Amino acid sequence: MTRYEYGGDEFIFVELAEEMSLEVNFQAMAITKQLKEENIPGILDICPSNASYMVRFEPEKIHPDKLISKLKELEETITIEDFELSSRMVDVPVLFEDPWTHETVMRFRDRHQDPDSTDLEYCARINGYDSKEAFIEAITGSPYLVSMIGFVPGLPWCYQMVPREQQIEAPKYARPRTFTPERAFGLGGAFTVIYPVDGAGGYQLFGIAAAPIFERDSKLYDFKDSMTFPRQGDIFRYRSVTREEYDKIRKEVEDGTFRYLTKEITFTPKQVLDNPKAFSEEVLRRLYG
């Protein structure tokens, strides 16, 4: 049951469900998209999340109860069957088991559920995979939906577009790390993330992204309009690369010539939910074809 709550004098928080699913995330996107398009006086900001969203408003211009009534109306009238999403498919190169995140992983073993293995080995085992290689294939085999942006500017929370029973999941560290390297690639709950900058963190770490997702000075082509790259609704395909390709991409980043491989796509939630395998194959075909 949807929960509507007041957040002080200026915020309304709406929880569509207690757990994340592709259906709920698509619903949050559809409602907040329509809310933005209606351009209601008094609404200052709309922040969609994984299974919820928050609205900041000016109480002098719109009463919170009136706003809640409007949000309930949108929930009742908007369905994901009518929702079409125009997005980007993005190739995201990742070097798995790189030396930098490995050093971090080993430094904080005392905070981990299994101090005697690496994060990759631990997560492969608890997800039922016989080897690290098979686990990496499962991560890279199907694309991910960028379900929200948050925690720190530009960090993409990504949910794999596979049937629910195939979702890869893992707990966060028993105690958070005090350091995580920039561009570290990891998993917490059912979400993969790329850390935009150095900082603390508690997700399991598997590798490092070759290209930035945050660039303060916006020197690269992909950052000409924003210092952050990911957008909610993007479709990320994590691609395992060798150290040689990783170094090549890092040089392109330093030279200012790197560009993400992206392709535009328009799709409906029904396409994803009815046959995620076929949708995944279509994404890979169009992105690399």
Where are the domains positioned within the chain? Answer: 3-78, 86-288
Region 3-78: CATH code: 3.30.1360.40
Fold of the 86-288 domain? Cyclophilin (2.40.100)
Domains 3-78 and 86-288 share a fold: no
Backbone angles phi, psi at 207, to 5 degrees: 180, -160
For the stretch 39-66, what's the b/e string if a residue is b when 16 or more beta carbons lie within 10 angstroms of its beta carbon? ebeebeebbbbbbbbbbebeeeebebee
pTM comes to 0.94
pLDDT tens-digit profile, the chain (289 residues):
899 999 999 999 999 999 899 999 999 999 999 999 999 999 999 999 999 999 999 999 999 999 999 999 999 999 898 899 999 999 999 999 999 999 999 999 999 999 999 999 999 999 999 999 999 999 999 999 999 998 888 999 999 999 989 999 999 999 999 999 999 999 999 999 999 999 999 999 999 999 999 999 889 999 999 999 999 999 999 999 999 999 999 999 999 999 999 999 999 999 999 999 999 999 999 999 8
